[in-house]
Structures are given as structure tokens and as C-alpha cells.
Amino acid sequence: MNGVVIKATGKRYTVKTADGEIVQCRLKGKFRIQGIKSTNPIVVGDKVELEKESELWMIIKLHERKNNILRKSVNLSKQTHIIAANIDQAILMITLDSPVTTTGFIDRFLVSANAYGVEVILLLNKIDLLDDAMQKNKNNLQEVYEKIGYKFFAFSVLNDDLSAIKTLMKGKINMISGHSGVGKSTLINKLQPNLNIDTKQVSDTHKQGQHTTTFSELHDLDFGASIIDTPGIRGFGLVELAPEEIGNYFPEFFAIKQKCKYHNCIHKNEPDCAVKTALGNGEIAESRYKNYLNMLLEEEDNFRTNDY
């Protein structure tokens, strides 16, 4: 019997079968050691094959994934954590305050999604809380990301109509991600009120969100979309990207890389670099280039220390 994983909590999995039945499953013991390097071999969105043993349903096979999004595991830098699999698009929810989402976090997420062939929509929430300086920051941010081809929406989940977002989501499996406290659960509750997902206020002390979603779960929505709700994440470490590959996942770099003097240019110290020329001309955002250099430095260090 085949099905889709709709919830993953440690060693237990909830699967929706092809017949629409919801069953609780475990992994077949030997399955856990078949060369899967991530901390979570089976994730929400995975298509699996089931078999019943006595009264227990067991996952006996993982079907090939269309895509997935990976990040480095917390405190386990050599292991990866798969956020979700087989998604049509990712929604990265960001805020400029309470909590702050940095461009470094945004760009790491975008690079990882791009590397695994996942389209991303940027949703800036809590615009009702913006002062004049933050409004200017919001305008700059929107200009930077729309210029390089990303869909960018600025809104207040609490106050604004969500029909445009529903249109983008319809007919697709959407994964929503972002820091704790940006409003992911609030958005899902407004899209589908009967889900009643827990929400918490942002901590006044640290201006950071408090985790309410502790595991990923896929929800079917009444307007013909599905959404994978994921736990809030603080950091986003890149996985399995060589330093010379990173620039390929910055669309504005990739578009002009053939104009660089050297075919293996990493846009750092090389002469006649088209990317650095575009940066000097204001055609590439400084924040994007600085974030690229930070990723490059990190991955170069990883490749030196984790050489095997």
C-alpha cells in the first residue's frame, strides 16, 4: 500500500494512504541504516510504501523524491536535517521586527531552495508595526528581491485579505518556513480556521518567537491547496554545496557569469569579474554580495576541516 507522510514525530509517522485512510506507522528497523545521512530519513511529503506486520503498519520503502530542502542540523554540523520533501513551492515568512529576519538568513534559504529546485515566495508579515525607517527598509528589501525574480508580498496576517496568497497556493503543496514568531501558525489559522494551530506571542525580552510547532505536518486546505507547517528555525546552514557552486544559486550572478574572464571565477579576488563589475555599478545589491562572501568563507572552511 502506498501513501504520503503527513506528520513526522521522532520515530512515529502519520501516513495518508492512497485510499484516504490515516494510519500510524514506524520504520522497518533495517531501513534506518541504509546510508541515509540526515537525522530524519523520512519526512513530511515523502511518498512511501507500507506493509502491515501483526497490528502495526511499517514503512518499508521510500519512493524517489522530486525535491527536498536541507539544512545543517542544530549542533550536528556534519549531519543534515531535511525540512520537507516533494513540495511545489516554499513560502518563506519574514519580519523586520519581533523577530528580525536578516538578509543572511533569507539568502541562505533561497540558495538552498534554488539548489534543490524549489521555487520560493517571500512573505513579509507585520507591516502594520513598521515605523518610517522600517518602511524604507521594507521597500529596499522588496526592490532587491523582486529585481532578481522572486515574488514578494508585504502584508499583515491579522488585518489583510489573503486572497492573493490563496491564489498562489491553490493546486500546490506549499511548505511554510521562517523564524519562530513571524506568524506562520497565525497565517495557517486564517487560511483554515478549523485547524486551531497553537500560537504564542513574541518574547519581549529577546524579541524572538517561542516555538509552538514542534514537528512538521501537512494540512489539506479547503480552497484546493496543501501546506506543510514546519517548526521555527533560527539558523540555516548550507548543505552539500561546494564553494565554487554557491554563486550558481544567486540568479543575478548566474545570469552574467559567462562574462567573467575566468570560467571558474568565484567572484572574490579574480580580475575582470563580471559580478564585481555589476556590484560596482549598483546592479547587484551589496547585501546579497556580502552574504555570498560569508557563505563562501563558511563553505571553504568546511571543505578544509571536513576533507575526506
Q: Where are the alpha helices (DSSP H) in 148-267?
A: 163-169, 184-191, 243-246, 251-254
CATH of the domain spanning 243-305, picked from 3.30.70.2660, 3.40.640.10, 2.30.30.100, 1.10.40.50: 1.10.40.50
CB 253 within 8 Å of CB 268: no
Backbone angles phi, psi at 251, to 5 degrees: -55, -40
Sign of CA dihedral 206, 212, 215, 217: negative
Q: How far apart are the first and last CA of the chain?
A: 40
What residues pair up with 124 in beta bridges, in sequence order? 94, 154
Summary mean pLDDT of the chain: 88
pTM, to two decimals: 0.88
Residue 40's pLDDT is 83
pLDDT, tens digit, for every residue of 84-116?
999 999 999 999 998 999 999 999 999 999 999
User: What CATH number labels 2-62?
Assistant: 2.40.50.140
Choice among 25-34, 164-173, 244-253 with the minimum mean pLDDT: 25-34
Assess whether the region 2-62 and the region 68-229 belong to the same CATH fold.
no
In whole angstroms, give the CA distance from residue 233 to residue 188: 17
In whole angstroms, give the CA distance from residue 219 to residue 213: 13
Backbone angles phi, psi at 103, to 5 degrees: -65, -25
Residue 36's pLDDT is 59
CATH of the domain spanning 68-229, picked from 3.40.50.720, 3.40.250.10, 3.40.50.300, 3.50.50.60: 3.40.50.300
Binning pLDDT at 50, 70 and 90, where does residue 206 land? very low
Q: Per-residue pLDDT averaged across 265-278, rounded? A: 97
Residue 188's pLDDT is 95
| 87/200: higher pLDDT | 87
Which residue ranges make up each domain of the chain? 2-62, 68-229, 243-305
H-helix or E-strand spanning residue 109:
helix 103-115
Residue 169 backbone class (left: φ over 0; alpha: ψ -120 to 50; beta: rest): alpha
In whole angstroms, give the CA distance from residue 190 to residue 158: 8
Residue 238's pLDDT is 82
In whole angstroms, give the CA distance from residue 182 to residue 203: 12
- Give the whole-number percent of the chain exceeding pLDDT 90: 72
Q: How far is CA 113 from CA 85, 89, 207, in A?
A: 11, 9, 27
CB 162 within 8 Å of CB 191: yes
pLDDT, tens digit, for every residue of 239-248?
778 889 999 9
Backbone angles phi, psi at 191, to 5 degrees: -70, -35
Q: Per-residue pLDDT averaged across 185-191, rounded? A: 94
- The set of residues, in sequence order, having a beta carbon less than 8 Å from that of 202 and lying 6+ positions away, is 98, 99, 181, 208, 209, 210
150-181 burial, b if ≥16 CB within 10 A, otherwise e?
bebbbbebeebeeeebeebbeeebbbbbbbbb
